Structures are given as C-alpha cells and as structure tokens.
Amino acid sequence: MVYQQIKYLFKKEVKLEMRNKYALGGILLYVVSTVFVSYLSFKQIINPATWNALFWIILLFASINGVAKSFINETRGRQLYLYTLASPQAVILSKILYNSLLLTVLSVLCLLVYSLFIGNIIQDLPLFLITLLAGSMGFSSLLTMVSAIASKTSNNFTLMAILSFPIMMPLLMVLIKLSKNAIDGLDKWDWNSLFILMFLNLIIVTLSYLLFRYLWRD
Amino acid sequence: MKKNWWKIIAFVFVLYTIIAGFLFKVPAQPILHESIRNLYFHVPMWFSMMTILFVSVWHSIKYLSKSNIESDIVASRAAHTGMLFGALGLVTGSIWARYTWGAWWVADTKLNGAAITTLIYTAYFILRGSIDEEQKRARIAAVYNIFAYVMLIVFLMILPRMSDSLHPGNGGNPGFNKYDLDSNMRVVFYPAVIGWILLGVWILSLQIRFEKIKRKIYLRD
C-alpha cells in the first residue's frame, strides 16, 4: 500500500519537475556558475584540503537551494489534496527519494565541472563516488525534513539555512573525512567512517519517517 | 517546606562548592596549577546543560503525543535555561583554555561540539520566533527540537572518533580519572555536580512559573 503510494508520488515529482524544466535548469546552472566563479578566483587548486573543502561547500549550498523548493513551492491547495490521498510517510519518503535522485545528478555534475575547471586530484575515484552518493542521500533526507519545517514559517529561505547547517555538521564532517581519504588515495578504505555514514543516513530517514506526520497538517 | 528540600540541597551544595572549591587542597599539576579548581565550575555546567536539554526534548516528545501546551512551555524554557548553562560553560571553558592552552578558543572537537550545540538552540529560538500561532509553533518547534537533539547526540558521540583533541578525556589525554587518585577533589566535585544540576532545575521551575503566569495574563486581557 505504502510502496504503491511512494511509487506514484515519486512519479508525480518527476513529472512535475519535467513540466517546468527551468527550476531544474536553474539549479544545475547554479552549480556550474558557482564553480566558474571559484575557478576565476582560485584558478587551479592543488592543496587537497582546500580542494575538498571548496567542493563540499559548493555542493552544500547547491543542495540547499535544490531541496528548499520541495515543500516551499507547493501550493496550499495541492498539499491539502495530496494529504487526503496519501499517508504522510509516503509523502516524505517519496520526496526524500526524489531529492536523492536530484542531488545525485547535481553532485555528479558538480564533480565533472569542478574537476574540469579546478583540476582533478582524486586518486581513488570509486571511494569518492561512493562518498558522493551516500552524501547525496544524507543531504536529501536531512534537507527534505528541514524544508518541511521551514515551509511552515514566514521567512523560510533564511530558516532553511540556519536550521540545517548545525544539524548537518556530523554528516558533513564524515563526508569530508572520507572524500579526503579518497583524494589522498589511501591504501585501506576507512570502513569505520563508511559505516558511520550509513548509520547517519539511517537515523535521519527514520527520524523523518517518525516525525513528519506531526508536520504535515495545519 | 516538604516540597522544597531539594532547593535547600541546591543552595547548600553550590555554596559548599564555591567555598570548598576555592579553599580546599588540590593536587599540584603542571600547566594546570590552581586553575584545576575550575573543574568544579566548568564541568558541572555541561552536565547541567545536558540534563536540562534532555528535559526539553522529553517535553517536546510529550507535546507531540498529548498536545498539551504546558509541555511546550517547559520545552522552550528548558532550552533557554540549558543555553544559559551552555553560555556559562563556554565562558568558564574559555578562561580555562586561555591559562592552560594559551588561547581563548582552539580548534578542538569538544569545543566544536559546544559551538554546534549553541548554534542548534539559537536556530531553535529563531524558528520559534518566526511562527505566530501558538499550537503550530509548539508542534513545529517540538519536531525540530527532537530532530536536532538526536543529531546533536550523534555528533557528540562520533566526533571524538574523527580527530584528536586537547581536551581532557579525549585522544589519550587524561580525563577526570587521573585526579581520582586524589579523593580530595571528589569530595567537592560530586556535590558540585548535584548542586549545579539542582540549581538549574530550580531556575527552570521559576522560568516555567513565570511563563505560565505571563500566558494567563495575556489570555485574560
């Protein structure tokens, strides 16, 4: 039952996104232009720590912009209609799934453009890609939940940032550590950190699943 | 009087902490010297903060299940009181850091954890401030409070694994256990912890009463 709902809601998200492509185009262009601005100010970055930090900061801001609209742009009428049809769990899970897809596309594009302009210094690409994928999932579940919270307030874009930054820190620190390992090309994968990353993703999704039902109805 | 015995304990223990903390004998340690006395003030601040923030989250959960506005008042006031102790913990820690590590602030996991805690609860207050309707504010703030608290606990748990720390109790640095050899400090430290926590609960109960009266007057007018 819930699976069915998630499937339909996910399809709905994709369809809506395809219908007004300018939003998707906007967020993709945001990444490209941010990277280009960094390129003009930094030229090439050889220092791994700086490369890594700048990459994640660009991705962080792009993700916030990309996910922020997931609840904020929904009209009240459409939300009401949705809530009479589907269970809150299905709504939040489908949004998380859709945003994971969006952020995965976004982060891969970011990586491509970033390594083209700023320089590619990654030595262990598989690990970096895994980190990127897990990071996109974590970002998407956390930001979807925060955007649901922020959409209930009056100044939601400012709140989106200030509410999400502090609670994103654990995720971001693990991601930065793992991607730094990938850049340095360490012989052994840090399974401990990978495990923590998966654990964090699991916690965030569980919390969203449990708490969203208190948010959705006014 | 029967109900207020714990307030007397709080008063006596905190007074004892201040007197004994400054006058009793402490072990002579290199670098720390007399600043070791800050242990009785700095560490209990964080214990009290975590206790009171737990009260806050507990009442947020209670609000979500019962929708009783009094739980929301407790949750928000507890967050305020917790932040008061957090600020005191930062100040005492900063002074201690200046005299032992040589800087007011150093890049350190424990300190980052403290900073993140402050940021999270400041965001919580801003979130509360930006919603006007009482029930809606209570519900949404409760959701954020629970979400943020769990993330905070996870952060405080995984952070020490991520990097080394100068702070006692991390990365091979001796924690409080080292001073256990000297039971002189225990005699003051344990009452200090209990005293400060009880004092925090006392401040919290006054704040809750004040807030409830304010709400009553507001509803009457």
Residues of B in contact with A163 (CB under 8 A): 123, 127, 144
**What residues in B contact A177, CB-CB < 8 Å?**
162
Inter-chain CB proximity B152 and A215 less than 8 Å = no
CA A139 to the chain's CA centroid:
4
Tally of residues, chain A: 218
Determine which of A64, A141, A144, A152 to mutate to test the interface with B (most B C-beta atoms within 10 Å): A152
Who contacts B106 (Cβ-Cβ below 8 Å, separation ≥6)? B97, B166
B161/A contact by beta carbon, under 8 A: yes
CA pair distance B186, B178, nearest whole angstrom: 11
| B98 shares contact with chain A (CB less than 8 Å) | no
Q: What average pLDDT does range A98-119 have in this prediction?
A: 92
Q: Cβ of B125 under 8 Å from any chain A Cβ?
A: no
B63-122 per-position pLDDT tens digit: 999 889 999 999 999 999 999 999 999 999 888 888 888 888 887 777 888 888 899 999
Judging contacts by C-beta atoms under 8 Å, the chain A residues touching residue B140 are 149, 152-153, 215
Q: How far is B161 from chain A (nearest CA, A)?
A: 9
The encoded tokens of residue A192 equal: 């401990």
Quote the percentage of chain A above a pLDDT of 70.
99
Q: Are A133 and A44 spatial neighbours (Cβ–Cβ below 8 Å)?
A: no
Q: Which residues of B touch A214 (CB under 8 A)?
A: 64, 139, 142-143
What's the pLDDT score for residue B164?
60
Encode pLDDT of B30-46 as tens digits.
Answer: 777 777 788 888 888 98
Test mutation, B57, B61, B109, B154, chain A, max A CBs within 10 A: B154
Which residue is listed with tokens 């490369």? A51
Report how far residue B30's alpha carbon sits from residue A134's, in angstroms, rounded to the nearest whole number: 46
Q: Residue A170: which of B64, B122, B155 has the nearest Cβ?
A: B155
Looking up tokens 């929708």, which residue turns up?
A: B67
Put simply, whether B127 touches A (Cβ < 8 Å) is: yes
Mean pLDDT of chain B: 85
Q: Span B162-191, mean pLDDT?
A: 64
User: Pick from B164, B46, B165, B167: which is nearest to B100 by CA?
Assistant: B167
Q: Which of residues 183-212 of B touch A (CB under 8 A)?
A: none
Give the pLDDT of residue A12. Answer: 86
Q: What does each C-alpha distance from A180 to A10, A173, A193, B92 come to in angstroms?
A: 33, 10, 12, 35
CB distance A172 to B116 below 8 Å:
no
Contact in structure between B72 and B141 (CB atoms under 8 Å): yes
Instruction: Find the residue in A nearest to B143 (Cα).
Output: A211
Show Cβ contacts of residue A132 under 8 Å, excluding neighbours closer than 6 positions. A104, A107, A108, A111, A179
In angstroms, what separates the C-alpha of A87 from chain B's closest C-alpha? 18
How far apart are alpha carbons B195 and A128 in whole angstroms? 50
Contact assignment for B158 to A211 by CB distance below 8 Å: no
Q: Is B141 on the interface with A (CB under 8 A)?
A: no
Over chain A, what is the mean pLDDT? 88
Chain B residues with beta carbon closer than 8 angstroms to that of A170: 151, 154-155, 158-159
Q: B45 and B118 in contact (C-beta within 8 Å)?
A: no
With cut-offs at 50, 70 and 90, classify the pLDDT of residue B139: very high
pLDDT tens digits for A156-169? 778 888 899 988 98
- Looking at the complex, report in whole angstroms how far the Cα of residue B110 sits from the nearest Cα belonging to chain A: 13
Q: Which range has the worst mean pLDDT, A182-191, A200-209, B118-127? A: A182-191
Q: So what's the pLDDT on residue B163?
A: 62
* Residue B172 reports pLDDT greater than 60: no
**Those residues with Cβ within 8 angstroms of residue A53's Cβ, 6 or more apart along the chain or in another chain:** A176
Q: Give dist(CA B16, CA B20) in Å, integer.
A: 6
At residue B176's C-alpha, the angle toward residues B173 and B177, to 5°, is: 90
User: A159 and B130: CB-CB below 8 Å?
Assistant: yes
Name the residue in chain B with its Cα closest to that of A190: B162
Residue B171 has pLDDT above 70, yes or no: no
Supply the pTM of this predicted model. 0.87
Report residue B149: phi and psi, to 5°: -65, -45
The answer to whether the Cβ–Cβ distance between A162 and B155 falls below 8 Å is no
Q: Which pLDDT score, from 0 to 100, does residue A139 have?
A: 94
Q: Which of A166, A167, A196 is nearest residue B158 as measured by Cβ atoms?
A: A196
DSSP classification of residue B171: T
Burial A68-84 (b: 16+ CB within 10 A, else e): bbbbbeeeeeebeebee
Q: What is the pLDDT of residue A43?
A: 82
Given a cut of 70, is residue A188 above it in pLDDT?
Answer: yes
Residue A194's alpha-carbon distances to A200, B126, B181, in angstroms, are 10, 34, 39
Q: Out of A153, A177, A211, name the one closest to residue B127 (CB).
A: A153
Assess B9–A contact: CB distance below 8 Å, yes or no: no
Q: What is the pLDDT of residue A170?
A: 86
